[in-house]
């Protein structure tokens, strides 16, 4: 039990730009989780942290206090090493779906605790729930059994992991303190460390469709999380990846599952394949599998075999037809030229308005809703050629989705060379 403090004193310490002591941090997280520190007091502290920051010791201690608020999982009984991946979220980011079975096919165990979408970014669990019968909720013994037998599991985090984070996350969402880098880093890493993975690869998205819009803040977040991993004894690497343009050619739940299956079948969009293989290489290196090339496992069908077993183990039917939206609307090019910009944020908002995302945690999502891209930056197009197809069950949603897309696509004159950002911007280890 941590030493008792006074909530107002803790708030004042950070408000006035001073460091919080270890005992202040331990006490305030524990007292907030138990309900003896009020929401408005924690909101004030979160704002003070947003404005004045925290140093490495404070963030590490804060993260440990969040882990200590709940249970820790233990994968030491498994016959293979564990490695996980976390993405900070983007538009069309379906990478977990092909990546988890691919890395498992190479010999590692992948315990992927995932979340649901909120706002313009999609959630992995929502995508997988478009597969008939698939369930997200597994007990810890079920998870362990599947990791040993199949090698990969994608499921919802249990209530027992870092309950302080769940409470604080909801508070940050409604108090304008989501953007505080110490709080983002500790939120992500407390869950990942409590999950018990041996190694971790972070995919920190940068650009219009990402949470971090500029490389400098993304680098700061990545560095903070890599340091937290190191302090906790979890080998952690971060890649900064481009999210100015959606990943692949789909944004939406069933649409992205279909595209992921194409990647596992040896096809799919080049950017999705490239990032899946790059992240798989990082994960395998972190888990100690040197010399295994994941590209081979995509080619020979073994990643697809693991996918089918992974979906089946969670009650899903990998052969069942995926849901298809009832209504479609095509957006065409207004001029001849070269696609210069296809803005990830605008396309994410359009997919959300079509029913693929949610505004509040309790909102339902449409499995078949979303946006399909028929061109990407650098592609030549002709006037009248399809650029995007909108999918929804409710035709009345199309107008608002079109409003979000008004400035999403820029077509440059023929012969121009649009600036194309590389997929991977930086690596932080």
This prediction has a pTM of: 0.94
Decide if pLDDT at 79 tops 60. yes
Mean pLDDT throughout 229-245?
A: 96
Q: Are residues 177 and 264 in the same domain?
A: yes
Active site residue 249: no
Is residue 60 within 8 A of residue 231, CB to CB? The reply is yes
Last residue of one domain, picked from the residues 264, 290, 313: 313
Mean pLDDT of 123-151: 96
CA–CA separation, 167 and 297 (whole Å) = 40
- The contacts of residue 270 (CB under 8 Å, 6+ apart) are none
Same domain, residue pair 231 and 298: yes
Helix (H) / strand (E) containing 379: none
The catalytic residue among 26, 84, 93, 165 is 165
Top pLDDT among 107 and 116 is at 107
382 among known catalytic residues = no
Q: Under a CB-based contact definition with an 8 Å cutoff, are residues 222 and 202 in contact?
A: yes
- Please tell me the distance from the alpha carbon of residue 131 to that of residue 303, in angstroms, as a whole number: 18
Instruction: Please identify which residue in the block is written with the tokens 């050619």.
Output: 249
Active-site residue, selected from the candidate residues 87, 114, 130, 187: 187
Q: Based on the domain organization, do 287 and 156 belong to the same domain?
A: yes
Token couple for 315: 């009650």
Out of 172, 297, 391, 397, the active site residue is 172
Q: Which residues contact 181 (CB under 8 A, 6 or more apart)?
A: 53, 217, 220, 221, 224
| Active-site annotation holder among 5, 61, 120, 191 | 191
Tell me the C-alpha distance between 310 and 110, whole Å: 11
Give the per-residue pLDDT at 421.
82
DSSP per-residue codes, 320-335: SPPP--SEEEEEE-SS
Which tens digits make up the pLDDT trace of 183-217?
999 999 999 999 999 999 999 999 999 989 999 99
Residues 88 and 205: their CA atoms lie apart, in Å, by: 6
Is the pLDDT at 3 greater than 90? The verdict is no
Model confidence over 357-410: pLDDT tens digits? 887 777 889 999 999 999 999 999 999 999 999 999 999 999 999 999 999 999
Q: Say whether both 347 and 295 belong to one domain.
A: no
Looking at the chain, the whole-number percentage of residues with pLDDT higher than 70 is 99
pLDDT higher than 90, residue 419? no
Q: What is the pLDDT of residue 170?
A: 85
* Cα 190 off chain centre by: 15
Does 123 share its domain with 27? Answer: no
Residue 66 lies in a domain: no
Whole-number pLDDT of residue 364: 86
Q: Is 172 a catalytic residue?
A: yes
| Contacts for 73 with CB less than 8 Å, ≥ 6 apart | 111, 140, 143, 161, 194, 195, 196
The 10s digit of each residue's pLDDT in 334-351 is 999 999 999 999 999 999
pLDDT, residue 1, reads 54
Q: Are residue 12 and residue 111 in the same domain, yes or no?
A: no
Q: Which domain holds residue 300?
A: 83-313
- 232 plus 365 within the same structural domain: no
Instruction: Work out how many domains the chain is built from and give that number.
Output: 3
Per-residue model confidence as pLDDT tens digits over 250-301: 999 999 999 999 999 999 999 999 999 999 999 999 999 988 899 999 999 9
Q: 306 and 332: one domain?
A: no
What pLDDT, on a 0 to 100 scale, did the predictor assign at position 2?
A: 62
Q: Are the C-beta atoms of 423 and 217 separated by less than 8 Å?
A: no
The answer to whether residue 86 is catalytic is yes
Residue 187 falls in the annotated catalytic set: yes
State how far the Cα of 31 lies from the Cα of 27, in Å rounded to an integer. Answer: 6
Specify whether 259 is located in the same domain as 369.
no
211 and 161 together in one domain: yes
Cα distance between the two ends of the chain: 35
């Amino acid at each position: 039990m941590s030493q008792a403090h006074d909530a107002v004193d803790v708030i004042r310490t950070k408000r006035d730009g001073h460091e919080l002591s270890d005992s202040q941090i331990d006490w305030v997280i524990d007292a907030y989780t138990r309900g003896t520190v009020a929401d408005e007091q924690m909101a004030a502290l979160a704002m003070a942290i947003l404005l004045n920051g925290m140093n490495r010791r404070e963030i590490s201690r804060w993260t440990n206090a969040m882990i200590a608020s709940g249970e820790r999982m233990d994968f030491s009984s498994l016959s293979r090493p564990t490695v996980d991946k976390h993405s900070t979220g983007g538009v069309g980011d379906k990478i977990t779906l092909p990546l988890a079975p691919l890395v498992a096919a190479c010999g590692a165990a992948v315990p992927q605790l995932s979340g649901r979408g909120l706002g313009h970014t999609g959630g992995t669990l929502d995508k997988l729930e478009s597969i008939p019968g698939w369930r997200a909720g597994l007990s810890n013994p079920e998870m362990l059994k599947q990791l040993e037998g199949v090698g990969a599991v994608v499921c919802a985090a249990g209530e027992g992991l870092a309950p302080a984070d769940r409470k604080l996350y909801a508070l940050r969402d409604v108090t304008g303190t989501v953007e505080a880098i110490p709080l983002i880093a500790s939120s992500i890493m407390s869950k990942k460390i409590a999950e018990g993975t041996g190694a971790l690869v972070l995919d920190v998205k940068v650009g219009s469709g990402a949470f971090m819009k500029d490389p400098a803040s993304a680098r700061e977040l990545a560095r903070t999380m890599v340091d937290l991993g190191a302090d906790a004894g979890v080998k952690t690497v971060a890649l900064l990846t481009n999210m100015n343009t959606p990943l692949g050619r789909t944004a939406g739940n069933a649409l992205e599952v279909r595209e992921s299956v194409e990647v596992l079948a040896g096809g799919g969009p080049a950017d999705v394949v490239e990032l899946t293989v790059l992240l798989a290489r990082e994960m395998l290196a972190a888990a100690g599998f040197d010399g295994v090339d994941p590209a081979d496992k995509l080619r020979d069908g073994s990643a697809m075999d693991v996918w089918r077993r992974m979906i089946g183990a969670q009650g899903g039917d990998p052969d069942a037809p995926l849901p298809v939206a009832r209504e479609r609307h095509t957006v065409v090019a207004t001029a001849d030229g070269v696609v210069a910009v296809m803005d990830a944020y605008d396309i994410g908002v359009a997919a959300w308005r079509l029913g693929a995302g949610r505004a509040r945690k309790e909102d339902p999502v449409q499995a078949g809703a979303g946006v399909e891209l028929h061109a990407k930056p650098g592609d030549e197009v002709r006037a009248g050629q399809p650029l995007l197809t909108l999918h929804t069950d409710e035709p009345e949603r199309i107008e608002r989705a079109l409003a979000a897309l008004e400035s999403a696509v820029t077509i440059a004159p023929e012969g121009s060379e649009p600036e194309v950002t590389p997929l991977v911007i930086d690596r932080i280890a």
